[in-house]
Structure 1
Amino acid sequence: MQSRSEGQNESRNEVFVRLLAGIQRKLFLYVMVLVPDPQEAEEIVQDVSVVLWRRFEDFRPGEDFFRWACGIARNEVLKHRDRSARAARCFSPEFLEQIANDAVRVVDTIDERREALRECLQELQPHHRELLNQRYFHQMSTEQIAQLHGKSVEAVRRMLHRIRMAVLKCIQQKLRTAEDSA
């Protein structure tokens, strides 16, 4: 039979795991902004996860877990910089602090941006979507696409530019609409 405190710990464990799983990808992206080496970022995220667990009792229900985790991640990145002489020479602590603050806002909206991109791509005419797929998914050069479609390279470049600008405008509009309705 479990004691009352064991049941509470298990509940606490489940809450922690659920919260951490919900932000793991965004937390990694946040750290990648500050430490561009994916292996170093992965190590830092693992360290952050341990610190988050150790300090989970400091987390207040209703607080934004992602922002709380980013504060801890920023501290872990600074510790990592102190251990790495090469990294310490790259950026000043003030610059890193500003980037960290900006990164929280950007990464926090990544799911909304991805959804807006998906919707905007679906709204494209099929042949425009196919051009983007050829260029970015299949990594075809503009020369290859031009040859495939019997167009000039310059015509393909202009078309891709117009499509990208339309997608960007669509995304910005969707994000503004979502922001206004929030």
Structure 2
Amino acid sequence: MNPHSQELHHFVKQLLEHQAALRAFIVSLMPGSDDAEDVLQNTNVIIWEKMHDFEPGTNFRAWIFAIARNTVKAQFKANKRNQATGVDEELIMAIDAIWNKRNSESTKLKQKALDRCLEKLKATEKELIQVRYSKGTNIEQYAHQIGRSADSLRTTISRVRAKLRDCVQRRLQHEGGAL
């Protein structure tokens, strides 16, 4: 896979991972509106068109939420019926602030739990996770390097991810941070 197609794959993956939250965010900005699905579609089109404006390493979720917020504002301006509901820019900004605060707190709790769970992994599991999630690392090459099949490494990675997911969920429940 060439670097451009890897970037495209990563972009699409992030966009798909955030669709449910993006939909919920738009619906929360447009309570009772029948236009939320149209706004979601328009937002996705704009995100796709502006794909090259996104700077890797920055907050993807914040970027797409800003696009969604602007798309909602444009919809309100274009649709007098929605303006009559009394939803204005101040309310949009207040809802946006709540979403960002909730996301920030949730992310911090999850990251702290993940860091602790990563510490508990065996050295070989940690190395495998680092290899898998490092940019430019090829599982096939690594498998050859350590004398294992790529399929067996993928199976092991899947097991380690499940182990991490379970550990994070337990830590969040134990610390009262389950969201």
Report the TM range for the smaller structure's normalisation: 0.5 to 0.7
- Give the corresponding residue for 2:156: none
**Which ranges in structure 2 are unaligned for 5 or more consecutive residues?**
111-171
Rounded to whole Å, the distance in 2 between the matches of 1:100 and 1:94 is: 10
Structure with max Cα Rg: 1
- Give the corresponding residue for 1:64: 59
Q: 1:70, 1:104 within 8 Å by CA — same for their partners in 2?
A: no
Tell me the CA shift for residue 17 of structure 1: 1.0
In terms of mean alpha carbon deviation, does 67-76 or 95-104 score higher? Answer: 95-104
* Gap change, CA 1:20 and 1:71, over 3 Å in 2: same
Q: Aligned AA for 2:48?
A: W
- Which of 24, 34, 38 is 1:43 aligned to? 38
- Which of 93, 103, 121 is 1:97 aligned to? 93
Q: Percent identity?
A: 24
Rounded to whole Å, the distance in 2 between the matches of 1:39 and 1:95 is: 18
Matched length: 115
Q: 2:33, 2:82 within 8 Å by CA — same for their partners in 1?
A: no
Aligned 1:27-176 pairs, distance under 5 A: 27-37=22-32, 39-89=34-84, 90-106=86-102, 109=106, 174-175=176-177
**Which ranges in structure 1 are unaligned for 5 or more consecutive residues?**
1-5, 114-169
Tell me the CA shift for residue 23 of structure 1: 0.4
Rounded to whole Å, the distance in 2 between the matches of 1:40 and 1:23 is: 20
Rounded to whole Å, the distance in 1 between the matches of 2:2 and 2:50 is: 19
